[in-house]
Amino acid sequence: MKNKKNSVMIVDDEAMNITALSHILKGDYLVYVEKDGRGCINSAKELKPDLILLDIVMPEMSGFEVISKLKEDHATKDIPIIFVTGLSDAEDEERGFNLGAADYVSKPFSPAVVKLRINNQLKILNQMRIIQEISMTDALTGIGNRHFFYAQLEQEWQGALRRQNPLSFMMLDIDNFKAYNDTHGHLQGDVVLREVAQILKRSAVRTTDKVARWGGEEFAVILPDTDLAGAKHVAERIRTSVENHTFSADGKISADGKIHVTISIGANCIIPDRTTGYTLEDFVSDTDKLLYKAKAAGKNKVCTPEPVFNN
């Protein structure tokens, strides 16, 4: 995130204002431009700018109407919005803040003030992102934790519900991990957990795929826009990668070079449908049951809603 520029969307129907604001911001930020409220709403969903500079007085849809729409949508509700306006009425300012505006810039605007107000909001945003990232990261493995997992799965569930696309999800468990810890020690067990996490990250190759440590020796993988056949393919690739991996011993390869573990996987897929009453919690529960079926079937296997397929 340190090397990535923050993005700012300018929304104004006056070309002169767009030109002036773009000149002020170029070089420091990635700048997007929209000339009306409808364009702002559509582009904000797609581009997800870090901040929006929004004019209040625009034809067809006012800035007040635009911010109301943005704050109602899950995809855009957290984007900070600074109103840029020539209005000086305290009631208008109060209305904007009540609708969720982060700040105001008055016209005619000062370039220094515009920069300071934007910088202040983005500084807060970036700090919050760092805190959120830390709170959602598993300290041992460096991948997402259970809190991260639930946030991502809820988001992907809602997206699949809107688009009616398949959503796949798998739960993984390291086989006989307690016995492994008893034999090799908990420090060596930590090495296995970290290296399994890295295998998962390499196997989930798309940026939309998400991996997390569920807890203990259990992990989870979310595969948006993936059907059951695709989930099976990824699950088997993960299972094989773990089985064939030689794990390090306290940072060095073990004396005999043969420290290996296996995993069991429950993989599931669904296209969410509000009319069925089937919930996200049901989906997680059913996937967990598939994992236990894989364990009961002899471990080192992938189990799906279809019969277990062997190695």
In this prediction, residue 257 carries a pLDDT of 57
40 and 127 inside one domain: yes
Residue that terminates a domain, selected from 76, 105, 135: 135
Same domain, 200 and 90: no
Q: What string of H, E and C letters represents the secondary structure of the chain? A: CCCCCCEEEEECCCHHHHHHHHHHHECCEEEEEECCHHHHHHHHHHHCCCEEEEECCCCCCCHHHHHHHHHHCCCCCCCCEEEEECCCCHHHHHHHHHCCCCEEEECCCCHHHHHHHHHHHHHHHHHHHHHHHHHCECCCCCCECHHHHHHHHHHHHHHHHHHCCCEEEEEEEECCHHHHHHHHCHHHHHHHHHHHHHHHHHHCCCCCCEEEEEECCEEEEEEECCCHHHHHHHHHHHHHHHHHCCCEECCEECCCCCCCCCEEEEEEEECCCHHHCCCHHHHHHHHHHHHHHHHHCCCCCEECCCCCECC
The pLDDT of residue 60 is 87
In terms of domains, do 165 and 226 share one? Answer: yes
Which segment of 242-246, 278-282, 303-307 scores lowest on mean pLDDT?
Answer: 303-307
Both 150 and 271 in a single domain? yes
Q: Which domain holds residue 124?
A: 7-135
From 6-15, 81-90, 119-128, 253-262, the region with the lowest mean pLDDT: 253-262
Structural domains counted in the chain: 2
Averaged pLDDT, 246-275: 79
Instruction: Classify residue 298: in a domain, yes or no.
Output: yes
136 with 211: CB under 8 angstroms? no
The single residue of 195, 217, 236, 281 carrying the catalytic annotation is: 217
Q: Are residues 212 and 261 in the same domain?
A: yes
Average pLDDT of the residues in 119-123: 94
How many other β-carbons are positioned within 10 Å of the β-carbon of residue 61?
16
The last residue of a domain, from among 135, 163, 178 = 135
What is the rounded average pLDDT of the residues 87-111? Answer: 86
Instruction: Examine the pLDDT at 258 and tell me if it is beyond 60.
Output: yes
pLDDT confidence of 129, banded at 50, 70, 90? confident
Q: For residue 98, is it within any domain?
A: yes
Lowest mean pLDDT among 35-49, 170-184, 187-201, 245-259: 245-259
For range 219-246, the mean pLDDT: 94
C-alpha–C-alpha distance, residues 55 and 119, integer Å: 18
In a domain, 2, yes or no: no
What mean pLDDT comes out for the span 220-235? 95
Say if residue 161 is in the same domain as residue 293.
yes
Whole-number CA gyration radius for the chain: 25
Concerning whether 46 is annotated as a catalytic residue, the answer is no
Mean pLDDT, residues 77-101: 87
Query: Quick one: what percent of the chain has pLDDT higher than 90?
Result: 70
Q: What is the pLDDT of residue 86?
A: 79
Least confident of 50-54, 55-59, 105-109, 117-121: 105-109
Q: What is the mean pLDDT of residues 250-278?
A: 80
With respect to residue 141, please indicate whether it lies within any of the assigned structural domains: no
Taking the alpha carbons at both ends of the chain, their separation in whole angstroms is 41
pLDDT at 256: 55
pLDDT (0 to 100) of residue 300: 96
Q: Is the pLDDT of residue 1 over 50?
A: no
Domain annotation covers residue 1: no
293 shares its domain with 152:
yes
Higher-scoring residue by pLDDT: 154, 90: 154
Q: Is there a single domain that holds both residue 180 and residue 294? A: yes
Regarding whether 163 and 265 lie in a shared domain, the answer is yes
Task: Single out the residue in 108, 135, 162 at which a domain terminates.
Answer: 135
Q: Write the CA distances from 279 to 161, 171, 201, 276, integer angstroms.
A: 11, 17, 27, 9
pLDDT at 4: 79
176 in the same domain as 108 = no
Q: What is the pLDDT of residue 206?
A: 86
235 shares its domain with 180: yes
pLDDT tens-digit map of 144-200: 999 999 989 998 999 899 899 999 999 999 999 999 988 888 888 999 999 999 999
37 found inside a domain: yes
Is the pLDDT score of 251 beyond 50?
Answer: no
In a domain, 67, yes or no: yes
- What whole-number percentage of the chain has pLDDT above 70? 94
Indicate the pairing of strand 263-270 with strand 302-303.
parallel
Q: Which CATH number goes with the domain that contains 38? A: 3.40.50.2300
Query: Are residues 91 and 155 both part of a single domain?
Result: no
CATH code where residue 233 lies: 3.30.70.270
In a domain, 176, yes or no: yes
pLDDT, tens only, 269-294: 999 998 888 999 999 999 999 999 99
> Is it the case that residue 103 has pLDDT exceeding 80?
yes
Residue 16 binned pLDDT confidence (cut-offs 50, 70, 90): very high
pLDDT above 60 for 203:
yes
